[in-house]
Structure 1
Amino acid sequence: MELKKPYYAVIFTNLRTEGDNGYGQMAEEMEALARKQSGFLGFESARDGMGIAVSYWESLEAVANWKSQLDHKKAQKRGIETWYSWYKVRICRVEREYEFNK
């Protein structure tokens, strides 16, 4: 994924509680909703014990708008109540990137 720099990465690391409890469906819905937001650039995630989800945004304003989006706020609340035992969010400005691809 080649993006025009600089851009912003929101890194969401987390530990889940036991069971799905509707998490899978909500995760799919939130990714689909994020893709419709102004300033959204991309999304990557992985889970093997600790989960890591990274969303990419054009600006800090786009990041703030996503955080305050009503359906996303509802999902955040449910995450605290049901899905996560711990999480951390980091917002980073990406100025340079490189990759290897065989």
Structure 2
Amino acid sequence: MNRGPRGDAKDLGLSRDDLVLKSDFVAKVKLAAVDRVRKGRQGKFVLVTGTTPTRYGEGKTLTTVGLGQALNRLGTKGIVAVREPSLGPVFGTKGGATGGGRAQVL
């Protein structure tokens, strides 16, 4: 069940005024909200990189989304951003990701 950006934002301590809604499923967070929430909090940043997925398709996107879901299940607040589309076709390789430049919040 997708609760949309409002439900996810509430879990992260953001209000409706902190969002710029683009659709029922897409929103941007205002920079002022990021600065406000950042004060007094210490967070962690995980960057998932790689050049070639396994032959079973376990690449960066799958790893990132799986990590986000695992942290969520453990009760940790977090955001997962999948921001780059598949670059496989650009480099003449298969490439199976469908990121399409979208960002996801879990």
Bigger strand fraction: 1
Q: Which has the larger radius of gyration?
A: 2
Normalised by the length of structure 1, the TM-score is 0.30
Normalised by the length of structure 2, the TM-score is 0.30
Bigger helix fraction: 1
Greater relative CO (CA pairs within 8 A, separation 6+): 1
